[in-house]
């Protein structure tokens, strides 16, 4: 695929193709936005477009000057579909394409293996870095720095894509900052993050930030039907709403089964303290927001057709019976605050118990259960 095939991120793609058209690509870019909405996909396709040697890619220019003057991305017309994009066929494009499925590649060398770092390389000038055990360590940043000191081997640019860049630990961040302060020529660093506020401000300020947004439900629903070939309209709309417009979340897992599991868990928390309860607290809190959204909507309107989880009407109706709208909204805010704070490694059990207590209190169920 190519940049032109990225669905639902037209604005970001437009800006990136504009950078190629202007031949002014920032040394450092920050792709910011929720997980599962196409940041990495766009980054890889951007890398393909930058180093493409066939078709109309910048690497093929020279005999084929088709640039036009551009002063503002809002007025930029990227022109024909293939202009300022990859050909998706040349050897450079095919090599980079392999990074779409990095796990299928072996790591770039025994050294990296022993360091337990993840640098994926399928093109000599393009590297994809991902965290190992939720962390990017200084060793991998040093490797990156070293790789960037060499001139591009066969592409036009040296490109490093750092996925979940906010997982760089302190020493890695500081080392990376030095690279950002004096980036080697022809190098392009693309940071990807769903939590850009966790990056050092000094890193953020040195990157050109491009925001990615969740997909509108109707766009995502059409995409799902096309990609999967198995969902009808109702189900694809439910999945779009459940995922909050994040196709990556649906294509990678069974979202409905996941929802059922977490909703059951929330229901148990609303009944009593469950000492045995386990599972990812972060995900639980994320699902709690979807759950509370429906509770609030049903309490306010009494309309099942406005629910995301319209197939769970009975349960939602029962839950809101003893609750006041004000309490549900307050709870939603409290859950949101807890979610923000779980980034600082709160004690999981305490957080779960506290969340349960808030749910019972705000939904008027303190005396229910035990
Ligand atoms: Zn190509």
Mean pLDDT comparison of 133-147, 174-188, 195-209, 228-242, highest-scoring range? 195-209
Instruction: Quote the Cα angle for 282-240-133, to 5°.
Output: 35
* Domain range 3-211, its CATH number among 3.40.50.11740, 3.40.50.720, 3.40.50.300, 3.40.50.1110: 3.40.50.300
Nearest partner of 250 among 236, 264, 263, 261, judged by Cα: 236
pLDDT class of 81 with cuts at 50, 70, 90:
low
In this predicted model, which residue has the larger pLDDT, 71 or 292? Answer: 292
Ligand 1 centroid–CA 52 distance in Å is: 4
pLDDT in tens, 12-46: 999 999 999 999 999 999 999 999 999 999 999 99
Ligand 1 centroid–CA 155 distance in Å is: 11
pLDDT in tens, 260-287: 999 999 998 888 766 666 778 888 998 9
Residue 57 has pLDDT above 90, yes or no: no
Ligand 1 centroid–CA 227 distance in Å is: 24
Residue 52 has pLDDT above 80, yes or no: yes
For CA atoms 341, 342, 345, 351, the dihedral sign is positive
Ligand 1 centroid–CA 42 distance in Å is: 15
Percent pLDDT > 70 in the chain is 86
Query: For residue 251, what are its two tokens?
Result: 């294509």
* pLDDT in the model for residue 106: 58
* pLDDT in the model for residue 65: 37
Ligand 1 centroid–CA 64 distance in Å is: 15
CA terminus-to-terminus distance, the chain: 56
Mean pLDDT comparison of 17-21, 62-66, 277-281, 347-351, highest-scoring range? 17-21
List helix spans (H) across the chain: 10-22, 39-51, 91-97, 110-115, 138-149, 170-181, 201-204, 217-228, 233-242, 247-252, 255-271, 281-301, 313-320, 325-342, 348-362
Ligand 1 centroid–CA 120 distance in Å is: 20
**Rounded to an integer, what distance in angstroms lies between the CA atom of residue 137 and that of residue 145?**
13
Ligand 1 centroid–CA 241 distance in Å is: 36
Q: What is the CB neighbour count within 10 angstroms for residue 79? A: 15
- Rg of the chain over Cα atoms, rounded to whole angstroms, equals 23
Ligand 1 centroid–CA 16 distance in Å is: 16
Q: On the CB side of 149, how many CA atoms lie within 13 Å of its CA?
A: 5
Q: 116-125 b/e with 16+ CB inside 10 Å = b?
A: ebbbbbbbeb
Ligand 1 centroid–CA 90 distance in Å is: 4
In this predicted model, which residue has the larger pLDDT, 81 or 254? Answer: 254
Ligand 1 centroid–CA 83 distance in Å is: 12
Torsion of CA 175, 176, 177, 183, to 10 degrees: 120
* pLDDT in the model for residue 71: 36
Architecture of domain 254-362: Up-down Bundle (1.20)
* pLDDT in the model for residue 60: 52
Q: Which residues contact 357 (CB under 8 A, 6 or more apart)?
A: 273
- Residues 121-141 have a mean pLDDT of 91
* pLDDT in the model for residue 66: 40
Q: Report residue 161: phi and psi, to 5°.
A: -110, 120
* pLDDT in the model for residue 63: 36
Q: Report residue 180: phi and psi, to 5°.
A: -70, -30
Q: What is the CB neighbour count within 10 angstroms for residue 53? A: 17
| DSSP designation for 347 | -
**Rounded to an integer, what distance in angstroms lies between the CA atom of residue 226 and that of residue 224?**
5
Nearest partner of 276 among 267, 286, 284, 268, judged by Cα: 268
Query: For residue 361, what are its two tokens?
Result: 């209190």
* pLDDT in the model for residue 56: 54
Per DSSP, the three-state class of 212 is coil
pLDDT in tens, 153-207: 999 999 999 999 999 999 999 999 999 998 888 999 999 999 999 999 999 999 9
Per DSSP, the three-state class of 197 is helix
Nearest partner of 353 among 337, 338, 363, 364, judged by Cα: 338
Burial (CB count within 10 angstroms: exposed 0-12, middle 13-18, buried 19+), residue 115: middle
The sheet carrying 28-32 orders its strands as: 118-123, 126-130, 158-162, 187-193, 28-32, 208-211
**Rounded to an integer, what distance in angstroms lies between the CA atom of residue 282 and that of residue 68?**
47
CB 85 within 8 A of CB 79: no
Residues, the chain: 370
Ligand 1 centroid–CA 164 distance in Å is: 27
Q: On the CB side of 26, how many CA atoms lie within 13 Å of its CA?
A: 18
**Rounded to an integer, what distance in angstroms lies between the CA atom of residue 23 and that of residue 19?**
6
Average pLDDT, the chain: 86
Report domain extents, the chain: 3-211, 254-362
* pLDDT in the model for residue 101: 82
């Amino acid at each position: 695929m190519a940049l032109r095939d990225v669905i639902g991120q037209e604005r970001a793609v437009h800006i990136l193709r504009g950078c190629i058209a202007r031949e002014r690509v920032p040394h450092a870019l920050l792709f910011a936005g929720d997980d599962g909405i196409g940041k990495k996909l766009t980054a890889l396709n951007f890398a393909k477009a930058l180093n493409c040697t066939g078709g109309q890619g910048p690497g093929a220019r020279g005999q084929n000057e088709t640039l036009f003057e551009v002063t503002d991305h809002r007025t930029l017309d990227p022109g024909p579909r293939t202009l300022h994009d990859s050909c998706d066929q040349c050897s450079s494009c095919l090599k980079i394409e392999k990074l779409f499925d990095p796990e299928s590649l072996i790591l770039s060398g025994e050294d990296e293996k022993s360091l337990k770092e993840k640098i994926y390389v399928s093109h000599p000038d393009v590297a994809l870095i991902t965290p190992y055990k939720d962390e990017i360590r200084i060793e991998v940043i040093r490797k990156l720095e070293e790789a960037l000191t060499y001139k591009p081997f066969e592409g036009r640019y040296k490109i490093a894509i750092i996925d979940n860049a906010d997982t760089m630990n302190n020493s890695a961040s500081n080392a990376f900052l030095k690279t950002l302060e004096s980036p080697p020529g022809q190098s392009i660093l693309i940071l990807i993050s769903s939590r850009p506020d966790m990056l050092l401000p000094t890193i953020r300020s040195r990157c050109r930030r491009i925001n990615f947004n969740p997909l509108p439900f109707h766009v995502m629903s059409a995409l799902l039907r096309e990609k999967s070939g198995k969902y009808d309209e109702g189900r694809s709309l439910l999945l779009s709403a459940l995922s909050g417009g994040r196709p990556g979340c649906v294509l990678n897992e069974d979202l409905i089964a996941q929802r059922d599991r977490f909703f059951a868990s929330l229901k148990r928390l609303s009944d009593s303290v469950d000492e045995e309860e386990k599972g990812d607290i972060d995900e639980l809190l994320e699902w709690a927001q979807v759950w509370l959204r429906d509770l609030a909507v049903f309490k306010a309107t009494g309309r099942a057709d406005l629910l995301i989880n319209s197939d769970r009407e009975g349960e939602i109706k029962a839950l809101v019976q003893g609750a006041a709208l004000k309490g549900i909204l307050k709870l939603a805010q409290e859950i949101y605050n807890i979610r923000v704070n779980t980034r600082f490694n709160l004690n999981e059990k305490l957080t779960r118990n506290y969340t349960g207590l808030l749910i019972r209190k705000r939904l008027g169920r303190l005396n229910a259960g035990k």
